Amino acid sequence: MSTWLDVLDLVGHALSTNQQRHAHPRGQAAFKSAISTFRRDGLPANEELRVLLLLVKQGANGLNLTEAQHVILVEPLLDPAVEAQAVGRVHRIGQTKPTYVHRFVVEASVEEQVHQLSSERLAAMDLRAASFRSQTTTERELLTVRDLAFLLKPNWGPEEAGEPQASSAMEAGTPGGQATPDLRALAETAAMARAEAAQTPLQGPPQN
């Protein structure tokens, strides 16, 4: 699950490259079809659907997916209630198998601050209550000035240790600088992945 369509496009492109069948549904009809296929048992190996690429809001909107065992959150979320609802689509009454939640956090990036702030918010509230509260944003849920300053503060980890770090893509490749992603290349890859997803909603290995 991710908050961003472009991120799911990139993940889908990687899955297709590695011949992993998946669905990235767009639109209500495609969404219902993908969920129905995912829930079916006894399908041939070349028709079995094992991976669903969903936006976080799709996974948090009254969906029951007890057939799944793994929830993968591609980036940390600011609101622990939304995360709890997304995970609750799999870990809920009727689930008979062990369930696992996998979280990805990019080191030395704003995601570390997002993860820390979300953890602090979660510690201050009852997780069970968070799973059932409404999505309406209240003043208590809004980011404070202090929260915003914390999220945007520079992450000086490597530099504090005396190791220079590239601060932008232009500095990558300089002596001592760390390589940074080519944002234009990532955008082009995402565009290609979107085009592929539009042509073939269900990706997977070619049938013999």
Within a domain: 178: yes
Cα angle, residue 171 at apex, residues 170 and 177 outer, rounded to 5°: 150
> What pLDDT score does 188 carry?
67
Within a domain: 37: yes
Query: Own/partner pairs for 134-141, CB < 8 Å, 24+ apart?
Result: 135/60, 135/82, 141/79
> What pLDDT score does 39 carry?
87
Beta bridge partners of 202: 23
Locate tokens 């080519």: which residue? 182
Q: Find the domain containing 140 and state its range.
A: 5-203
> What pLDDT score does 158 carry?
47
208 residues of the chain, pLDDT tens digit each: 999 999 999 999 999 999 999 999 988 899 889 999 998 877 887 788 989 999 988 755 568 889 999 999 999 998 888 888 888 989 988 889 999 999 999 988 889 998 888 888 887 765 555 455 544 444 445 667 777 777 777 654 544 444 434 333 333 333 333 444 455 665 666 667 666 655 555 545 445 4
The length of the chain is: 208
pTM of the prediction?
0.62
User: For position 122, which CATH number holds?
Assistant: 3.40.50.300
- Domains held by the chain: number: 1
> What pLDDT score does 41 carry?
77
| Distance (Å, whole) CA 103 – CA 115 | 10
| Distance (Å, whole) CA 99 – CA 74 | 17
Within a domain: 79: yes
Q: How is 55-93 classified by DSSP, letter by letter?
A: BHHHHTSS---TT--EEEESS--S-HHHHHHHHTTTSST
Within a domain: 208: no
